[in-house]
Amino acid sequence: MSAADPTLPLVVLTNPIHAEAMALLAPHARVVTAGDTSPDTLRALASEAAGLIVRAQLPDDILDHAPYLRGIVRHGVGLDFVPLEAATARGIPVANLPGSNTGAVAEYVFAALFHLRRRLGHLDGTLRGAGWLAAKTFASDLGEIGGTTIGILGTGEIGRRVARMARDGFGMRVLGHSRSARHRRQASDDGLFEAVDRETLFAESDAVVVACPLTPETRGLVDAGLIGRMRPDAVLINVARGPIVQAEALAAALRAGAIGGAALDVFEVQPLPDDHPYRACPNLLLTPHVAGTSTDSLRAMGLGAAEAMIRILAGERPHNLVNLAALAHR
């Protein structure tokens, strides 16, 4: 049967997925990609959908408009795009893809860190504009990352990958903080990092990486108080979710030169508004939520999402079911 067969269940994609994933889904579903991700568009498409593959924020009330929905698959890891509690209450399984983009995000962290520390783009521009000597003089003030301290806020799969790369690849001292940390200082169970409280992490780190999930507890967690504890030359990198970092506090610190710089891949409002204060901040790298995006990760996430959706449509349990309690409500 072809993907156009009207007897096949409808699967709605909020955004395009890898071509190999589309081919994998084709014998099992009619696949429609949303023309845009506005709430009204997604609500309208959900009205006939048996499955949703999600790469963008779903409206909170999406399930009120999806009477035939059998399951939701997150094309990625973060679940804040999905109304998880509502899905569980309605017996709708939700799956995600842990580990599918971990390598890409971890590599982004170090690409951003090198951008902030070694300033290759600035060196190139200085050489072209002001000459060889000016560029060489500027480089004399740039530091290495080896032997410095990296602090990781959120020691899940991505945080631990960053920690391992930092320790084993660059000889960095690694601090970590998670919700389960109870002591001021203790080695992690595997010795990968030194577990500390948030205040210590921000005060002692040369680079702070935000890698925790967005929850009611972490929203606005990185505030003026924590940023104020950072060293004057320390940098902050956010690859988690925009609302975890208070934008006003970070922008004020950058404008005042209170910290050395920042790299942000995620924002509270996406796309980033043209008039957002971040756009005028010095020493700030802005990227459009692409830390987890690469040819390899998109293929892995697409195929993983397709396989999970095929299992859901067949009435089977997906491999990475995140709301086990939904099965009791079905």
Nearest alpha-carbon partner for 225 in 197, 264, 199, 189: 199
- Is the four-CA dihedral 188, 191, 195, 201 of positive or negative sign? negative
Residue 187: phi and psi, rounded to 5, are -70, 145
pLDDT in tens, 105-137: 999 999 999 999 999 999 999 999 999 999 999
- Domains of the chain in start order, with CATH, are 10-100+295-329 (3.40.50.720), 102-286 (3.40.50.720)
How confident is the model at residue 187, as a pLDDT?
73
How confident is the model at residue 5, as a pLDDT?
86
Nearest alpha-carbon partner for 102 in 273, 234, 300, 276: 300
Nearest alpha-carbon partner for 93 in 307, 319, 306, 304: 319
pLDDT in tens, 186-234: 677 778 999 999 999 999 999 999 999 999 999 999 999 999 999 999 9
Of the pLDDT bands very low, low, confident and very high (cuts 50, 70, 90), residue 79 is very high
Burial of 289 (0-12, 13-18, 19+ CB in 10 A): middle
Exposure string (b/e) for 147-183, b if CB count within 10 Å is 16 or more? ebbbbbbbbbbbbbbbbebbbeebebbbbbbbeebee
Task: For residues 77-86, give the mean pLDDT.
Answer: 95
Angle at 68 between CA 63 and CA 72, to 5 degrees: 60
pLDDT in tens, 292-307: 999 999 999 999 999 9
pLDDT in tens, 148-183: 999 999 999 999 999 999 999 999 999 999 876 555
- Calpha distance 105→292 (Å, rounded): 5
Residue 86: phi and psi, rounded to 5, are -65, -40
Better pLDDT: 4 or 214 = 214
- Calpha distance 14→193 (Å, rounded): 38
The runs of H, that is alpha helices, within the chain are: 19-25, 39-46, 84-89, 102-118, 120-129, 132-139, 157-164, 170, 198-204, 224-228, 247-256, 295-313, 326-329
pLDDT in tens, 16-49: 999 999 999 999 999 999 999 999 999 999 999 9
pLDDT in tens, 232-279: 999 999 999 999 999 999 999 999 999 999 999 999 999 999 999 999
How confident is the model at residue 190, as a pLDDT?
79
How confident is the model at residue 184, as a pLDDT?
57
How confident is the model at residue 2, as a pLDDT?
41
Task: For residues 98-107, give the mean pLDDT.
Answer: 96
Q: For the chain, how far is it from start to end, CA to CA, in angstroms?
A: 29
How confident is the model at residue 1, as a pLDDT?
38
How confident is the model at residue 3, as a pLDDT?
44
How confident is the model at residue 204, as a pLDDT?
98
How confident is the model at residue 329, as a pLDDT?
80
CB 112 within 8 A of CB 170: no
Q: Tokens representing 22? A: 């589309």
How confident is the model at residue 179, as a pLDDT?
78
